[in-house]
Structure 1
């Protein structure tokens, strides 16, 4: 009987070990649950209620965003033409501002989201500061270009004025050269003539006998006058002061004035001091008194004289 007692105690020892193991497992599960609860609670604690805990931070960030947006609006208030890059940067900045406002509008943010929003605001502040600086630099460049443009405009105006003055001087010089090159008479005389029965001419002094006027002249020495044929226009004014005209289409220009002529002819000039004679036959009867004769060539007056008929 005594030999059987130890065998009866062995199951009891095994049952005790099992109980101890179960207790340890339960404790471990309770510990795990406690850890998971602690971790979940810690995570939940990281969710920040901005209305209660960080209201001041939310207000500060909103105020900062308002200032940044106002600076962006102020930078764009000037009539500065932005580059395509600056336009893209401005659009991105406004999208970021809208995104940050939407995030702050929410009542709850995680700490990570809050920290990211703070970082975004700092980056936005840096961008707008740089953007405003770029606008200022662009404004300075535009101002410098405006000054340079005005300076160039003044220079162009000065050059244009100088060109106009030179053109005027050149025109005056050309006019003087042209006038200097025009033929001028050195001596001029007019003789009333009649035609005798034998066909020969004879000079007369009475108006009743005269049939034509012989105009004799020679040309002053002129080395710059062109050699060759020159048109000669003659105006004859009767004693009553009336111009005797060939016809209504007998027009020419001299001394910057359009006039009618009495007679037109041409001479060949060679700068030789040659004597020229031009006869003009009066289609009407001569009157008593003084006839005035004026010669023109190359757009200027050559000379004038008069003759008196009895």
Structure 2
């Protein structure tokens, strides 16, 4: 009879040891999981940091090349390069979360894309203008003897000028945002959060285009093939054009940045298509974006 209490005590001690063992194993497993998660997060941050730094270095090198082309954008290129060099230095020094640098990084990327497009257009226009001047001089010299040939050449030149006077619409871009009651806008790629679309594009400089008010019709089609916004329709030749909104700018042969917004609710997830038309119905730019 005296062994029974001792057996009970041994069982109790044994049970306590088992519980302590189970708790220890659980703690070790959780600790191992936390350490693994931290290592993974650190690796992802370093990978993202290297990616952003490499892209900035490549873009700075591209700006160095552009600065030697003498297309009248030297000041803009210099300022853009200085901002990117400053951001690159900050990114390289950072040791943790890069979220505070991302907005600046994406803003500088968009600005440089616009700058590269404008630089490319200016080079093309300079080449075309030089070619046109040489050709015109040859035609004028030849006109002294060949009046009939001059008439044909002038007609061809008029067609060239007409084509050259068309305005180029560049860098069409759409951002989905969540606009809070305070008016602050937060960029998002989630359809359920978005309540506004910010549409922007660039009307390029063209010295031979007519200086006047220019109206563009912007069409946004969602993933269900619905046209967003005003959904107004205008006749274009023997067809019709349904648009989301119009924008009119005063064009004076200089580059113009256009920024518009389209409010909405219950945006659908999927691919959206955006088109920009002139008043004559010509599609001068198009792009697409996705909401998840």
TM-score surpassing 0.5? Answer: no
Task: Point out the structure with max Rg over C-alpha.
Answer: 1
Q: TM-score, normalised by structure 1?
A: 0.39
